[in-house]
Structures are given as C-alpha cells and as structure tokens.
A and B are shown apart, each in its own frame.
Chain A
Amino acid sequence: MYENKRLGFLFVLPFVLGVLLFKLFPFVASFALSFSQYDLIDPPEFVGLANYQELATGDPLFRKSLGVTLLFAALAVPLRVGFALFIAHVLNFKMRGINFFRAAFYLPSILGGSIAVAVLWRFIFSKNGLVNLLLSQLGIEPIAWLADEHYSMWTIVLLFTWQFGSAMVIFLAALQNVSVSLYEAAECDGASKFQQFWRITVPLITPVIFFNLIMQMVHAFQEFNGPYLITEGGPLSSTYVLALYIYDQSFRFFNLGYGAALSWVLFALVGGLSAFSFWSSKYWVFYAGEKERK
C-alpha cells in the first residue's frame, strides 16, 4: 500500500496546495511588487529598480534601520545561543530537580512572544520600574532604559536572550547523546571543567550549534513584537529594526512596492548570511556519522 504513489500524493496534497498558494505565490509576488509602486488605490505601476535605488541612495532611515537590525542580531543571537548552550551543559548531568529547572528555563521562551510579556518588559524597564529600583538599592543612578538611545537596544536584546529555552532543549537533547565515558576519560587526564566544555562538548555538538545559530538568526532578523511594543522603534530610531520599517511602509503608509523591496533586502540579508554559514560550516561543523561512513 505504501508503494501506491497516487495515495501518497493524495495525502500530501494539502501541503502542495498550501505551499503554492500561501508560500510560493506570495514569495514571487512580493519580488514582483518590489519593482512597482502601489498604494492599494491605483493599480500597481512598474518602476523598475527605483525602489531599490531609493533605499540604496536616498533613504537615511533605511540605513539607520539596517544598522540597528544588524546590531540587534549581532548581540542577541550569540547571547541567546551561548546562554542556551551554557545552561544546557550545566543541566546535562544526572541530578535531582532537572525537570523543574528545564521547565523553568523553558517557560520564558513560550511566553516571551506574548503581548503580556512585552507589557511586563516595558514596565520593569520604565523610569521607576523594577530594574531601576534594584539599581538604586545598589546605589546606582536610575537609567532611562527606554528613553535613552544608548540603552534602549539592551532592553529588547535582553528580552530576546531571556527566551533561550527553545534553543536550550535542543542542545540538551544533543548533549544527552555525548558519551559520558569521554568526560570520565578527560577527568582522569586532569582536564578542568572549562577544558571539558571547550574540548569535548563544543566540538561534538557543532551540528546542533550550527542549526541553532541559523534558526535563531532567522528569528532575530524578524523580531517585531519587542521593538514595536516596548520601545516603539525609538528613541531616535535606535530600535527601529527592519521588520518595523517594513510594517510601517507596507501597512501604515501603504507604500506597498517600497515595503516589498525592503522585505526583499531583509530576505537577501538572511539568505546571504545563511549561505555564508553553510559555506563556512565545512570548516567548523563536524558530523560524527559522516566521518565513520568514509
């Protein structure tokens, strides 16, 4: 029965239709749209490369936004993945209460995308919020987290880092496949915990580090809720990430062609960085199974 190709295709048909209708068509359409001027009222008008020209030469806000997005990703992705790996490493021993800790660390990544948490964040970083209360106890002057362009970025980076749980459980599953005997052997040879982490744990799970880095990068470049709700892109556009700019251009100002061009820049950025990671991965990602097969 499982050889019945028609039956198999019938089962997969919803997916085929879904991809064509809701993924492939919009993908191609947004590319076409990026070469047009369209405001939802008059029909789209072909303008060639004008949108791309505009954002490359005549749009300082785009340049600002691009810089902000890159900075955000450069800070937030290593922090989240690094933290996830570190905590997974500490959790990866037979110990009591592991289920409690695992759930505790996982919970923020589940709730983090909600508006309620954005409200909470806005609130604890407000002028009289929890963080400043804590700082004042330590004798530190309160910081205008949300109003000072030097600090606003950190509030959304911290929110992103706070949600390291989903990357952590993936690391944890990978770590449980690393043989305990390796650590025992290293311990006998006098390797410190620090050395064990860098010489055993990290090299053996490079494929999973790679996977998490790529997935989290894709997430970071699309981060919207944090900047939209907590800092509202400000102050002085210091958290005005591309996702926010795309939203404003597309759905607030209805410059649909320009919005599409912006979103293709974002796509090219993510695609380019992914391609670069895949290219570089042959130098640092080690697939144990592959080696054995050779």
Chain B
Amino acid sequence: MTSSTETLVLNRERGRPWLRYLVLGLVALVMLYPLLWLVGASFKSNGEIFSEIGFWPSRFDFSAYAKGWKTSTEYSFATYFLNSFLITIPRIIVTVISCVLVAYAFARFEFWGKKLLFSVMVGTMMLPLIVLRLPQYLLFRELGWLDSYLPLIVPSAFATDTFFVFMLVQFLRGIPRDMEEAAQIDGCNALQLLWHIIVPLLKPAIISVIVFQFIWTMNDFMGPLIYLASVEKYPVSLALKMSIGATEEVEWANVIAISVVALIPSVTVFFMAQKHFIEGASSSGIKG
C-alpha cells in the first residue's frame, strides 16, 4: 500500500512539531487576547478603548479603578467583595465536609440502597437545575430565608453539589485500602480513620473541590439574583451587573476596570492550583 520512502517522510514529519505549535499558538492567542485586551483597556481612557486594537495603553491611567471601585451606589466594591467572601468561604467549608463524608460512604461502606443512591447522585448531575429553582425559592421563602445568604450556603451542607461527591468517590476508589486496614487493626474508629488516613490521601481532590467551589460561587449570578433583594448584601457578580444596567450610558472604563478586579481572585486561585485541579477535573469525567 505504501512505499518505504513515504514511510520515512511521515516519520520525519512526526519529529517536526512546528505545525502543531503554530495551531496551538494561534488558538491560544485568539482565546486569550480578549482577556489580555480587557486588562490593557482598564488603563485606557474612554476614547482610546474604542479606537485601539492593541492592548498596551498609551498612558497608564488608574482613575477608572478608583471611580469604578467607589461605584454610583452608596457602597463601594469593598462591601461587595466582602459579601462575596461571606458567601463563598462558609459554602466551601460545608461543601468539603459534607462531600468528603458522603464520598467516603460511597467508596468504602456497604449499606442498604447504595446502588440506588449512587445512581440518583449521577442522575442529578444531568438534571437541569432550572427545573428546581422555583420550588426551591418557595421553600426558602417559607423558611424566611429570602434576602439572606442561607439559600446560597445551606444546600451545599447536604452534599447537593454532586459533581464534587462523584469526583471524590472516583479518587478514593483509586486508592488501595492497605493503610486503612492497618489502622483498623491498630484500633482506629471510623472517624479517626477518616481524619488521619482518608483526608490526607484525598488532599489533591479536596483542593480541586475548594478551587472549583470558590470560582463557581464567585461566578454565581442566578442564585444571588433570585434570593437577594437589598443592595447592601449584593456579591460582586450582582454589583457588576448593576453597574452596566444602571444607566443607558455605560461608563465603560470604570466597568472594565472593576471587571478586571472581579476576575483577580478566580485567576489567582486558578494559577495557584491549576496543576492539581485540571487533573482532578479530567479524572472525574470518565475513567478508562
């Protein structure tokens, strides 16, 4: 079917990856340029933003940051960032605790209805959450939780973010049980075992949970939009939306500067942990 010279040519091509780099480089440029440009634009004047393709500003102007930070409301973005963290940090804590407990049960224990419960868990990952929004809203209204952070935090304490449970279960299944068996012989009870053996082994996966939950909760828009009414309780996502919706004439320079600031926490966390959690994300999908 093929001559030996052709084979040689093809083999040499395998050792010449410039085409691959070219493709990847171009795609990366197209994908990241808008973000780069956003950062550059945050230092530009209003006029320059709409006339310059280059991302490097002609003059570094920080006034948009100052103006954007102050906002046109009576609160500054310091309040909104604080609110975001007041939602995010408790939510991360309850997520980690509940998801580790549940994943531990699924990965190690035998109990009645385990198979069914596991299918339910995988099933809810595919359930469009929008179907649940309305009754959840009515439930929290009944409980008197509207305009508080409870609807955004409490469900996570019941391992309802099933994606994380699934990820942790997959991770635990890959860990041999030798150490746990040894610890049991030494007389550890289940909680000691969990704390001293399982949690340290799960550390990389737990980091993934923390990073994902941090970024997703910071990004979350629909939740706060539905449940929060008073501006003083708004997280960054809602406050940012307010700044583009308040007036017809959008102060783009200010909005862009604040958008950059709003992205900083997520980007920082992403780069700090990216090696860990990209692997976590991919292994959670499908094994084999």
- Chain A interface residues (CB < 8 Å from chain B): 1-9, 11-12, 14-19, 21-23, 25-27, 29-30, 33, 87, 90-91, 93, 95, 97, 99, 101-108, 110-111, 113-117, 119-124, 128-130, 133-134, 137, 162, 166, 169-170, 172-174, 177, 187-190, 207-208, 211-212, 214-215, 218, 221-222, 224-225, 229, 243, 246-247, 250-251, 256, 259-260, 263-264, 266-267, 270, 274, 288-289
Contacts and interface: CB of A to CB of B under 8 A. Distances in A.
A222 B155 contact: no
A27 B132 contact: yes
Contact of B281 (A108, A128, A170): A170
Pick the most buried of B134, B157, B237, B259: most chain A CB atoms within 10 A of its CB: B134
B278 A169 contact: yes
Nearest to B239: A115
B199 interface: no
Contacts of A263: 128, 130-131, 133-134
A122 B189 CA distance: 56
A95 B132 CA distance: 45
A5 B7 contact: no
A187 B270 contact: no
Contacts of A102: 278
Contact of B35 (A120, A169, A187, A264): A120
A8 B286 contact: no
Interface in B246-279: 252, 255-256, 258-260, 262-263, 266-267, 270-271, 274-275, 278
Interface in B123-164: 124-139, 155, 157-160
A218 B215 CA distance: 20
A94 to B, nearest CB: 9
B53 A133 contact: yes
B131 A27 contact: yes
Contacts of A115: 219, 221, 236-238, 240-241, 259, 262
Nearest to A169: B282
A113 B216 contact: yes
Given A8-B105, A130-B34, A119 B160 contact: no
B215 A110 contact: yes
Contacts of A123: 38, 252, 255-256
A171 B160 CA distance: 26
Contacts of A170: 281-282, 285-286
B11 A23 contact: no
A86 B101 CA distance: 38
Interface SS of chain A: helix
B79 interface: no
Contact of B128 (A218, A229, A247): A218
B195 interface: no
Pick the most buried of B38, B52, B126, B135: most chain A CB atoms within 10 A of its CB: B135
A103 B270 CA distance: 9
B207 interface: no
B262 A114 contact: yes
A274 B193 CA distance: 40
Closest 9 CB pairs of A and B: A18-B158, A8-B109, A190-B2, A8-B111, A11-B105, A26-B135, A170-B285, A116-B259, A29-B135
Nearest to A164: B31
Contact of A119 (B6, B105, B256): B256
Interface string B1-40: 1100011001100100100110110011001101101100
B127 A104 contact: no
Contacts of B134: 26, 30, 33, 250, 256, 259-260, 263
B201 interface: no
Nearest to B17: A95
B64 interface: no
Given A26-B132, A187-B7, A190-B7, A90 B111 contact: no
9 contacts: A8-B108, A22-B132, A23-B127, A29-B135, A104-B31, A114-B237, A115-B240, A129-B50, A222-B130
B286 A19 contact: no
A218 B126 contact: yes
Contacts of A1: 184, 189-190, 193
A15 B158 contact: yes
A126 B136 CA distance: 36
Contacts of B258: 116
Contacts of A90: 20, 23-24
A266 B110 contact: no
B143 to A, nearest CB: 11
Given A11-B109, A14-B158, A190-B2, 4 more contacts: A8-B109, A103-B271, A116-B259, A173-B286
